[in-house]
């Protein structure tokens, strides 16, 4: 499986609840590579672009209001299959349907406060990384332990 990059963001509820280290640690422990990381309070234009596909949905206004309400932790993770892999770590959109062991399954109950975002495919990953990060904010590096990994 080819190495790829995906965009992940800990939403304001995850930050407010002190879950940043818990969530970050899951991606690190899994073996994905952190290539971009910053905290920011998203502007309304950024949030509206990010959630543009949901513009017509009834929850859009509340979603944008919430995501701009305080700091989020924005990340880019790299690795083989990381786009689907991150979604698997994150779990289903509705936290009560998210499997135990997933981030939403373990840490959330409310669909409007589901603590984390992850790109849902290669096209959205590319779009969201470009939306949230400048190219120079991304770090291309090879973790030392990768030489120990088996050939794919």
Which residues of this chain interact with Mg ion, rule CB under 5 A? 120
Query: Counting contacts by CB under 6 A, is residue 114 touching ligand IDP?
Result: yes
Q: How far is the CB of 99 from ligand IDP (least distance, A)?
A: 14
Query: Counting contacts by CB under 6 A, is residue 112 touching ligand IDP?
Result: yes
Choose the catalytic residue: 50, 54, 117, 146.
117
Torsion of CA 130, 105, 112, 125, to 10 degrees: 10
Q: Which residues 28-57 are close enough to bind ligand IDP by CB under 6 A? A: 54
- Those residues whose C-beta lies under 8 Å from the C-beta of residue 93, and which sit 6 or more positions away, are 104, 111, 114
Burial tier of 31 (Cβ tally within 10 Å: 0-12, 13-18, 19+) = middle
* Region from 13-21, 35-43, 114-122, 142-150 binding ligand IDP, contact rule CB under 6 A: 114-122
């Amino acid at each position: 499986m080819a190495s790829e990059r995906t965009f992940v963001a800990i939403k304001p509820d995850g930050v407010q609840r002190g879950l940043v280290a818990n969530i970050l640690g899951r991606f690190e422990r899994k073996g994905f590579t952190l290539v971009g990381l910053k905290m920011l309070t998203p502007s309304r234009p950024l949030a509206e672009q990010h959630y543009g596909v949901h513009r017509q949905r009834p929850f859009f206004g509340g979603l944008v209001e919430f995501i701009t309400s305080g700091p989020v932790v924005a990340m880019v993770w790299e690795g083989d299959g990381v786009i689907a892999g991150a979604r698997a770590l994150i779990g289903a959109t509705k936290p009560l349907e998210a499997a135990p062991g997933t981030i939403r399954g373990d840490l959330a109950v409310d669909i409007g406060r589901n603590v984390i975002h992850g790109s849902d495919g290669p096209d959205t990953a590319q779009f969201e990384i470009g939306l949230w990060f400048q190219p120079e904010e991304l770090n291309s590096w090879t973790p030392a332990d990768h030489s120990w990994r088996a050939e794919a």
